[in-house]
Amino acid sequence: MVDNIVKWGAANVMVTANDAAAFQNIPCYFDVMVIDAPCSGSGLFRRDEAAIDEWSPNNVQLCSQRQQRIVADALPALKSGGILIYSTCSYSIAEDEAIMDWLVAEMECESIKLNLENAPGVVESMSQNTGTAGYRFYPDKVKGEGFFIAVFRKKTGETNERYKTGKLEKLNHKQKEIVGHLINEMQWEGVRLYNGWYFLPPHVYDQLCVLQPSLNIQYAGVQLGEIMKDKLVPAHALALSGLLNENVPKNELNKEDAIRYLQRADFKLTTETKGWQVVCYQKHNLGWINALPNRFNNYYPKELRILKQHNGPTFEN
């Protein structure tokens, strides 16, 4: 997930890794919660035959119990009036419609019906006890694998919970000198430094201050890089973000050289300027190089490099 956030260049996202129970420590905080619950996987039978061998009635019941625990643990963190989106990749009633009945009957949630006018192929399903609406996606009717989704509004909980926000010092003059040649000056007011050199919009930092005591934060904002000898060695995330100073040199590559860059293989590049610069393909930033007097160093992350090329690239995990 962190790799995907970096690729998107998103600065207003935090990635956490926690058991659902950890969210009980942040009551009535979120406006929207999406629970893509672990399931027995019957919706994946077409794509993955191994999923058929793993399926069993006992596994369905185990997943149903696990899904209820996850929802019950996480739901206190949703505001009163907040939206809960529940989904699985299962067709089992015990994991879908039965969970809907449980949410309405015991968890004080109300069903929200969706407009399917522009969703041909999606099948509406009603739960047995409460008539709650859910939606099934069948592989023979839609483009994709088997899927189930239902939407609810939480009816209970406090709405005036108060949380303390934090404060980080803005960049001082020396720090601006270090990052100023790479970061758009318009972004400086939003730079906050936490746990190293990261860009955090002020409102995101406020959220971080609330979430950090309770959740295991894996990544937040945009990593800017590391300071070595009073100079910034830029992070891969910075190259893909929208924070770059427009004066940072960019080198447009053809497809062959772009692939070789992503493989961390040798390719020829002539650049008039030296130092840190970005390489691009079709105006999309790929990453950093550091141009030296007689060569350049490829700074594409080793763990992301293309290992082979046959019917499309294969990536190292």
Domain boundaries, the chain: 25-154, 167-227, 249-317
More confident residue, 210 or 169: 210
Nearest Cα residue to 112 out of 149, 156, 65, 63: 149
The residue-averaged pLDDT of 226-233 equals 83
Name the least confident of 151-160, 172-181, 241-250: 172-181
The pLDDT, as a whole number, for residue 4 is 92
Average pLDDT for residues 164-185, to the nearest whole number? 71
Which one has a higher pLDDT value, 159 or 177? 177
Average pLDDT over residues 275-282: 95
What mean pLDDT is predicted for residues 24-35?
94
Superfamily per CATH, domain 25-154? Vaccinia Virus protein VP39 (3.40.50.150)
Model's pTM, two decimal places? 0.83
pLDDT of res. 302: 93
* pLDDT given at position 34: 97
pLDDT of residue 312: 52
The CATH class, in words, for 249-317 is mainly beta
Quick check: 238 pLDDT over 90? yes
Predicted confidence at residue 96, as pLDDT, reads 97
Percentage of the chain exceeding pLDDT 90: 64
